[in-house]
């Protein structure tokens, strides 16, 4: 081997050491899949998990109990009261239903080693994030779910969009602020890079998707994949659905079902805040509150 051939190889090896995600293997062929039983069996093997020196405020027993709850009841994951974690919890719906083994094994590795690779993303959370996980309080159910705190904080620390431009480093209380915020393109990027789904998205942070028949469009997408809606949360939950005011998108939900009612309205069933909800809305109002529609489908062999 000549010196001319050796130099590129050495450069590649050095670059690979700096970017461990390169060792994640060829992930472009298929979307990883696993079962609930596989994930629970893996967690059973972690019964002797020791306290982590990287996450001093996350106790191993509570950490594993939290992961088990997520696997056994995927729709129970909850972003916490008053936080900006809604996009991260909505996104978690995908691996918890389709690939829970990779989800829990990644978090166990992150807990034990302080760094880990998920998809093509290399995670090594900041010291401030590692100290904060397990200490968040006054967040409802999230208070007693340290693994979810670790997961959400790590995602917010790792992924950045334009909303995070002025607040990139975690300080106490930033889980409620723009540090943790997620815009529409950032959400879709996380789904692609972490879980290797094919993502088709329409809409934006400002302009609504130009869909003529919203019922038909959503129905068709639900037949082939998982649909996330980027909506104005205040409008979605307000009691008077006839008052149309200026609004902006603030929240992500997972659409579970859509149907037309006898009075020419549209009933949507969706996952949000750790449980299923159902609302009956006029087509005009539904179009008003939806700013983005993200359609994630599993990749088959050699599909990119």
pLDDT in tens, 116-139: 999 999 999 999 999 999 999 999
The answer, yes or no, to whether residue 4 has pLDDT greater than 70, is no
Instruction: Tell me the residue ranges of DSSP E strands in 56-191.
Output: 116-118, 121-123
pLDDT tens track for 11-69: 444 434 444 444 444 455 799 999 999 999 999 999 999 999 999 999 999 999 999 99
Give me the pLDDT at residue 17, please.
42
Listed in order, the ranges of the chain carrying CATH 3.90.70.10 are 198-298
- In CATH terms, the fold of domain 198-298 is Cathepsin B; Chain A (3.90.70)
> In the predicted model, what is the mean pLDDT of residues 133-159?
97
State residue 246's pLDDT score: 52
Contact 295, 225 (CB under 8 A): yes
Is the predicted pLDDT of residue 232 greater than 70, yes or no?
A: yes
Banded model confidence at residue 109, pLDDT cuts 50, 70, 90: very high
State the pLDDT at residue 159.
97
- If we measure between CA atoms, which residue out of 289, 143, 295, 277 comes closest to residue 226? 295
pLDDT band at 194 (very low <50, low <70, confident <90, very high): very high
The residue among 19 and 100 whose pLDDT is bigger is 100
**Both structure tokens of 188:** 């879709």
Structure tokens at 191: 């789904």
Per-residue pLDDT averaged across 192-205, rounded? 97
Which pLDDT does position 19 carry in this prediction? 45
pLDDT score recorded for residue 303: 55
Write the DSSP symbol of residue 180.
G
Residue 222, Cα to own-chain centre: how many angstroms?
18
The distance of Cα 281 from the centroid of its chain, to the nearest Å, equals 26
Q: Where are the alpha helices (DSSP H) in 144-269?
A: 146-158, 184-195, 214-224, 233-237
- Helix, strand, or coil here: 59? coil
Q: State the average pLDDT over residues 69-85.
A: 95
Average pLDDT over residues 93-121: 98
């Amino acid at each position: 081997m000549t010196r001319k051939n050796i130099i590129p190889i050495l450069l590649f090896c050095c670059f690979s050491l700096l970017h461990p995600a390169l060792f994640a293997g060829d992930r472009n062929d298929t979307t990883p899949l696993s079962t609930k039983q596989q994930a629970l069996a893996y967690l059973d093997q972690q019964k002797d998990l020791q306290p982590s020196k990287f996450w001093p405020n996350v106790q191993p027993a509570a950490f594993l109990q939290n992961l088990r709850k997520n696997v056994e009841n995927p729709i129970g994951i909850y972003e916490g009261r008053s936080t900006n974690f809604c996009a991260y919890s909505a996104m978690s719906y995908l691996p918890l239903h389709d690939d829970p083994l990779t989800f829990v094994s990644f978090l166990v590795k992150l807990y034990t080693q302080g760094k880990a690779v998920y998809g093509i993303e290399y995670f090594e959370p900041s010291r401030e994030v590692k100290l904060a996980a397990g200490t968040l309080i006054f967040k409802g159910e999230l208070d007693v779910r340290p693994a979810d705190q670790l997961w959400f904080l790590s995602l917010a620390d790792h992924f950045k969009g334009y909303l995070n431009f002025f607040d990139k480093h975690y300080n106490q209380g930033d889980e409620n602020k723009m540090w943790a915020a997620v815009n529409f393109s950032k959400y879709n990027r996380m789904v692609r890079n972490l879980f290797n789904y094919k993502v088709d998205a329409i809409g934006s942070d400002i302009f609504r998707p130009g869909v003529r028949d919203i019922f038909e469009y959503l129905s068709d997408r639900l037949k082939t994949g998982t649909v996330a809606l980027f909506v104005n949360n205040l409008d979605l939950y307000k009691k008077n659905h006839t008052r149309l005011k200026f609004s902006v998108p603030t929240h992500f939900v997972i659409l579970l079902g859509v149907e037309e009612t006898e009075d020419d309205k549209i009933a949507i069933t969706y996952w949000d805040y750790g449980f299923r909800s159902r609302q009956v809305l006029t087509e005009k109002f539904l179009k008003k509150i939806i700013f983005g529609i993200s359609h994630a489908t599993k990749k088959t062999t050699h599909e990119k």
